[in-house]
Amino acid sequence: MTDAAEQPAERPVDRPVEQPVEQPVDRPTARPGRRSAGRTVRVGAALAVLVAGAVGARWAWTGTNLLGPDRLCGGALPASAASGLLGSGRLADTAFDQKAARLVPGCSVTRTAGLLTSSTDTVVLQTTLAEVSASLGPATAPAGSAVVGGGRVGVLSARGGWLLLPAGCDGRAPTGTGKDGAPGPGRAWQVEASTVRDVPPQALLTLLAAAADGYARTAGCPAPGGEPAGRVLAPASAAAATPDALCGLPGLRAPWAAGAFQQAVPRSAPIWTCDLGAAPGAADPSVSGEAGGRPFLRLVVVTDSRLATSEARTTRLAEPDAQGRPVLTAGADEVLARCGDRPVLVAVTPGDGAAPAGTAPPDSGTLLRGLLTATQQAQNCGGAPWVPAGS
């Protein structure tokens, strides 16, 4: 018997390999509210940009002069000079006095600023013929005014001032049809500024200097160019009168001034003034309710040749004689002398204040003679005495 038939080996059966089943992953689904919120944020940001742009544009229009003119008053005045005086804001100008006898028409410059509420400020400019009696009278140049030096001639007060135009404008005929007509040879022009609030003197000088040079160009005055900037001299300060050297002038004796106060500008000023009045803080009986005293007397010495000559032409003062001595007449309170080749104007101007009790100044003729003698000495003029002995 044979062995059992060999059984065939069991063959492996191919079975399909089980693939791992991918489990579904929970992914966040977009919520309807979140999409609308994003849109709202974008719209809000866009609106914020628009609002900021509108505010910025309005500020550029009203808060600065970025979009405004860079020159004003017919091109005579740089906007920077006006902004330096009036502050930041939109600038606009208006011409006036176009038919008056001016070198050029007057001009007012207004500054407007503010986003929600507007604030305004104004300066008024005009050209007039220089006149010492009008510009330096106690009523028009109050005590404490600052005189301009450093190559310029003028006077500054808290709310205005004046400055001579360049010499090329002297004697120029005005525009318009005013009654003044041609100024005649030797008459100088000045630019005046007035404001509605107190302003810094340096900013006022910068404005006046720019206006003076600009008006000269507008009027076609021949000018050498490179006019000096000028500088503000120290203002007068009150001090007890010095009878042995009144107002700091050696040789000007005034025993009658004991008890008064004096306010004198620096002696180097081209326009020297000294006010005599009551003590600061004292009641002034000439002005109801006013304290501090207004000057009862002003002494004036003008060493600037142009201004002295212009005043002499204006008031028709007699020319000095061949030796430079002034012509002294009875009752004269303003005369023209000559220091070397320079004309010098000397004046005594009564004020409207009340003299302190016990102060009795002499007549204007005596005062004028004393001031002439002291001025000739202080200016080192030499030559024949301006006031002859015994006169």
Above 50 in pLDDT, residue 192?
yes
Count of domains in the chain? 2
Q: Are 107 and 73 in contact (CB under 8 A)?
A: yes
330-369 tens-digit pLDDT: 888 899 999 999 999 999 988 888 888 888 889 989 999 9
Q: In the block, which residue shows the tokens 């007509």?
A: 181
pTM > 0.95: yes or no: no
Percentage of residues of the chain with pLDDT beyond 70:
71
Do the domain assignments include residue 10? Answer: no
- Does one domain contain both 172 and 246? no
Among the listed residues 278, 273, 275, the one whose alpha carbon sits nearest the alpha carbon of residue 263 = 275
- Does one domain contain both 83 and 153? yes
Q: Are 158 and 147 in contact (CB under 8 A)?
A: no
Q: Using alpha carbons only, what angle is made at residue 162 by residues 161 and 167, rounded to the nearest 5 degrees?
A: 165
Which tokens sit at 259?
């008890």
Q: Provide mean pLDDT across the span 112-134.
A: 78
- Does one domain contain both 124 and 190? yes
Rg of the Cα atoms in the chain:
40
- Does one domain contain both 203 and 325? no
* Cα–Cα distance measured from residue 238 to residue 275, given in angstroms and rounded to the nearest whole number: 9
Q: In the block, which residue shows the tokens 């003679």?
A: 369
Q: Provide mean pLDDT across the span 215-219.
A: 92
* Cα–Cα distance measured from residue 157 to residue 144, given in angstroms and rounded to the nearest whole number: 7
> In which domain, by residue range, is 203 found?
57-232
- Does one domain contain both 240 and 219? no
* Cα–Cα distance measured from residue 230 to residue 211, given in angstroms and rounded to the nearest whole number: 13
Residue 215 pLDDT level (bands cut at 50, 70, 90): very high
